[in-house]
Amino acid sequence: MLPTYRDGDVLLVVRGVPPRPGRAHVVRLPPDASGRPRPLSVKRVTGPDPDAPERWWVDSDNAAEGVTSFDVGSLSGDDIVAVVAGLVWRTLG
């Protein structure tokens, strides 16, 4: 999620909140192409999937890198783990 967040930043998150378009969320992405699970990630929810309104499209703040819904498709609401409420501690560097 560069430039917004960096690896190692400490974030305050809130679970149990419905997805909010435009906000950063902690999400569970599907396994990679070899079937290995991916770590939890921070992605920006862009809105509901137009073909399946109960599912959500996610994007990365870094257009050059990162996994988005264009790569893995939309995510179920169960895969939207928490909303990012704020940055607690910034990683140096």
Q: The CATH number of the domain where 48 resides is what?
A: 2.10.109.10
pLDDT, tens digit, 9 for 90 and up, residues 66-79: 899 999 999 999 99
Q: What pTM was computed for the model?
A: 0.90
**Is residue 3 reached through a cis peptide bond, with omega within 30 degrees of 0 on the bond before it?**
yes
Whether residue 57 has pLDDT greater than 80:
yes
Q: Does residue 75 belong to any structural domain of this protein? A: yes
Average pLDDT, the chain: 94
Quote the number of domains for the chain: 1
Whether residue 93 has pLDDT greater than 70:
no
For residue 65, the model assigns a pLDDT of 86
Q: Does residue 23 belong to any structural domain of this protein? A: yes
pLDDT, tens digit, 9 for 90 and up, residues 27-45: 999 999 999 999 999 999 9
Instruction: Give me the domain span that covers residue 72.
Output: 10-89
Q: Does residue 81 belong to any structural domain of this protein? A: yes
